[in-house]
Structure 1
């Protein structure tokens, strides 16, 4: 299910167009929603001792958005092999036009900042993410 973000007035610049930095924030909102939908919200991950820092972000802007557009953001597991999680995002407006695409990469670390062997330490989450990964 898509995450829906309504463009806020404060997210626009002097020209009335959404400032480019907000799209990365929207990816984070959609990612948090995605994790909640699969049963692993951030609070649960933190309780389990998992932190998931962002390793990289890319964003390709296709079309401008303005206040108060509704943006539908789909999140897809692009790749997951247990060490890094690669997500892709597609943002569409109410006319179903793509306004932005992006990717993020994440690691899974324990509280000491060491990589987690997801398949051994958290096999249930590992299987969910592996099953959701796009098949070639």
Structure 2
């Protein structure tokens, strides 16, 4: 089971009060998403080398609490939806006290790198498709 992505905020990510600036959470979602894909054995680099790109179509973020400089956080990343052409993630950020402080989502699609045309992984890259399908089936989104 994927253990989540852990990190501490860098000083430059905070404001004068030592609170993480809201603009950083989207970057953290990306870091966590990349970490999950590497955990699955499917890093972005491999997809790109296979001619598949995965653009971000939409991102949302809901702030429920503050994160301070020096505070360790865990970002749990879940496959919220996968249908072969689209891949949606949800994120939960918890502080050191395991309190939920941020939630979010990102929506993606799969494109052929050369043509920028929508592609279905089941046909274009069956191994990639199986990895996503198995993970989505065996690791349902956290309630």
TM bucket by the smaller chain? over 0.9
* TM-score normalised by the chain length of structure 1: 0.95
Which of 6, 9, 26 matches 2:8?
Answer: 6
Counterpart in the other structure of 2:132: 129
Counterpart in the other structure of 2:123: 120
**Shift, 1:74, TM fit:** 0.8
Q: Distance between the aligned counterparts of 2:131 and 2:45, measured in 1?
A: 18
Q: Distance between the aligned counterparts of 1:16 and 1:31, measured in 2?
A: 25
**Shift, 1:102, TM fit:** 0.4
* TM-score normalised by the chain length of structure 2: 0.90
Which of 64, 75, 96 matches 1:62?
Answer: 64
2:112 match: secondary structure = coil
2:90 match: secondary structure = strand
Counterpart in the other structure of 1:100: 102
Q: Distance between the aligned counterparts of 2:85 and 2:44, measured in 1?
A: 18
Q: Distance between the aligned counterparts of 1:117 and 1:129, measured in 2?
A: 12
Which of 47, 50, 53 matches 1:48?
Answer: 50
Q: Distance between the aligned counterparts of 1:52 and 1:11, measured in 2?
A: 26
RMSD between aligned alpha carbons?
1.1
Counterpart in the other structure of 1:30: 32
Structure 1: stretches of 5+ with no match in the other structure: none
Counterpart in the other structure of 1:85: 87
Counterpart in the other structure of 1:73: 75
**Shift, 1:15, TM fit:** 2.0
Q: Distance between the aligned counterparts of 1:18 and 1:120, measured in 2?
A: 42
